[in-house]
Amino acid sequence: MPRDRRADDPAALQEALAGFVRAFGLHQPETTPCGQQISVSEAHALGELAQEGELRQVELTRRLRLQKSTVSRLVTQLSARGWVERAPAPDDGRGVVLRLTPSGRRAAQNLAQARRERFSQLLEAIPAHERAGVLHALDVMVEALDE
């Protein structure tokens, strides 16, 4: 990996980030980086729903950082797969609550297992003395994107 890139050069950041996206497989729209045949956005939605049990659709939109229309299509896709069910929000007739079906819970569990295996392999491939720096760099990137 080249180490002679200028740290203050935006092109160097773009090149490094593009290399990461490709190496991690994020440019493959219908497969997760852990090799599952599901889109990354669907995998993230399943993960959020599995973690919380149920979420309002508007909250899922916020957590995924996607547009409302994109999440609506995403939920329609997950529903068509039999993984998510919609229900009216009990306190607001206009709101929608999302829950995983039993099939959706199994899919989320399979994804979580594949993710654990992939990230364990990835972590083992990073030298132990560099792991904290990698995690810190990712946190700094997220903070910069949030500004």
Please indicate, yes or no, if residue 52 is contained in any of the structural domains: yes
Please indicate, yes or no, if residue 1 is contained in any of the structural domains: no
Please indicate, yes or no, if residue 113 is contained in any of the structural domains: yes
The CATH number covering residue 48 comes to 1.10.10.10
The terminus-to-terminus CA distance of the chain in angstroms comes to: 29
Please indicate, yes or no, if residue 121 is contained in any of the structural domains: yes
Please indicate, yes or no, if residue 7 is contained in any of the structural domains: no
Provide the whole-model pTM: 0.85
Domain count, the chain: 1
Range of the domain at 80: 19-146
Please indicate, yes or no, if residue 86 is contained in any of the structural domains: yes
Per-residue pLDDT of the chain (147 residues; tens, 9 = 90+): 455 678 889 999 999 999 999 998 888 888 888 888 999 999 999 999 999 999 999 999 999 999 999 999 999 999 999 999 999 988 887 889 999 999 999 999 999 999 999 999 999 999 999 999 999 999 999 999 998
